[in-house]
Structure 1
Amino acid sequence: MTTQVTEKKTQAAHSYVGMWVTADGFIRHELRADGRYDEARGKRHSAYRGRYWLEGDHIEYQDDTGFTADGDFRDGVLYHAGMVLYREG
């Protein structure tokens, strides 16, 4: 349990927590402080959900079905699976 608590505190304090969107707003990644993410696509809310973890500026995703993906943050931009996402707001 200590590891989970430490991981949650680390995620909550991380600067990447928040909403990330493509330039056209079609894809929206919400990176939550509890280590979970929720991805919307167009009008489909919660198209994908799962957990994520960070290794420096690298992000790993595992959705609730077991599918995995990854990405990298560079200069305030998230590059993920051929997509480019920007922090909302």
Structure 2
Amino acid sequence: MAHATTVGPRKATNVTLPVDVYERAKDLGINFSRTCEQALREAIKVEEGRRWAEEHADFIKHTNEWVEKNGLPLAEYRTF
């Protein structure tokens, strides 16, 4: 995972973890805040993508149908 680059205010929060996970992470020197932030950023990205695809499902479907029927626009200029 890449390091989070946060500019701006931060908000303290509580996280409840299973004891074994907490102890192993602590023993390994894992930064809890950074790890949680990175995991949440990734979860947000995935969820926003899922919602975008759901919201635009009709457009995606119709575009795919058009391409299947007509082929890719400018396909004759593809070099690969």
Higher Cα Rg, which structure: 2
Q: TM-score range by the shorter chain?
A: under 0.3
Q: When the two structures are superposed, what TM-score results if normalisation uses the length of structure 2? A: 0.20
| Greater strand proportion | 1
Report which of the two has the higher share of helix: 2
